[in-house]
Structure 1
């Protein structure tokens, strides 16, 4: 092949020379070491199939591992929930604790322990559905006993006010439905579900306990509620919410800007407290009004303070 111009490396080259020079790169071959075969995937459909099969196998193994983890976590949480209810049932039967106090302690602890157990589930997209199986099974249990299809005096005494089976179809049923909603819709990567459950379990639960014991001073617009109960709901709802948000943030599920977060939690706690104190005449259960009010305020507030 003829060359119009030969350029020696390191020698000065004029602009005119560069404009007319054609440089050819010839015989630039990279040879493979001897005895090492070279594969061309375009010419090796067998290799392509093997690689795809290996990738599918690794994906299936990973999915199977996540399912085993989630199944184990579900069994563990379900066993813990059953043990919690059984423990307070036995304490009530032995007259070691009042039925009203037992009911509220189950109300507080079962939801918060369920919330605190979310991190033991896997990072798969199906983890939230495994977690929701725990309150779903309790939901079916409440329906069965609330409709008197079966009897369980221990369950009725542990979670109802007056010990009537049909009460299971009101407050307790709404309670587990909210647990299911927060697990599926918000899960652990959203502070909205966390703060809603914290207010329903911690704030509302403490309000009833304190109000019954120290609630002699009633609210002027609702004689069924007391200043002690409302103040305790605000304080404990605020503290439990902040504690749970910190718990999930240090585990890396979300990052919060804490100055704005404290203000937002205080606002949510205040609104939830006001909603809980309103005279509804039995038309709206606290297990619906408190978490829904918390969800609405948290939804609009957390979007403005920054979450990552």
Structure 2
């Protein structure tokens, strides 16, 4: 396993830890989840900035092993995406959970699969592959299907896959918002 792939694996495992918000959603009301997401975002950014100048036991080793560049903003975008998802869809935690699953599992899987075996590039986006996008869709569909009926899970996974592949915005914000919106529309129009 190459050093670059190992770093990406660590990064995506951290990304997948967002699943904790689904677990915590069983015990905490939505406003507390939103507050927790905001605290995590601010704390993470603070640690990230301090780490640029000083070694912080435990955190520096993790940050330095998975950082892509010095201007990394993925942490902020990730928790912004979680916060918006909880704010927009917290009225129905099944929808919020499905959108979070699509973000954390679909995006992490597509990155790892795309980097490992992604040979066939998508049209109009040469950094993304069919293999990564297919894995995003399958993992997202299966994961979202544990929270909402299969038809909304399918549409949410498809919306997330297309968003991940082509969104001009950071996908950590766009994926859960677009997926959650698609799931909400299908549920409230057809179920």
| TM-score range relative to shorter protein | 0.7 to 0.9
**Structure 1 residue aligned with 2:165:** 277
Q: Deviations over 1:237-267 (max 9, x none)?
A: 1111112x06xxxxxxxxxxxxxx3122111
Residues 120 and 131 in structure 2, CA contact (< 8 A), matched pair in contact too: yes
**Structure 2 residue aligned with 1:262:** 150
Larger Rg: 1
**Structure 2 residue aligned with 1:161:** 68
**Structure 2 residue aligned with 1:235:** 138
**Structure 2 residue aligned with 1:100:** 8
Gaps of 5+ in 2: none
Aligned CA-pair RMSD: 2.4
Residues 103 and 161 in structure 1, CA contact (< 8 A), matched pair in contact too: no
| Counterpart check, 1:304 vs 2:150 | no
**Structure 2 residue aligned with 1:130:** 32
Residues 136 and 180 in structure 1, CA contact (< 8 A), matched pair in contact too: yes
Q: After TM superposition, which residue ranges in structure 1, 4 or more long, deviate above 3 angstroms?
A: 145-152
Residues 167 and 174 in structure 2, CA contact (< 8 A), matched pair in contact too: no
**Structure 1 residue aligned with 2:102:** 199
Deviation at 1:146, TM superposition (A): 4.1
The number of residues matched between the two structures is: 183
Residues 222 and 278 in structure 1, CA contact (< 8 A), matched pair in contact too: yes
Higher relative contact order (CA 8 A, sep 6+): 2
TM-score, normalized by length of structure 2? 0.83
Structure with a larger share of its residues in helix: 2
Alignment match of 1:217 (pick from 120, 123, 131): 120
Residues 101 and 209 in structure 1, CA contact (< 8 A), matched pair in contact too: yes
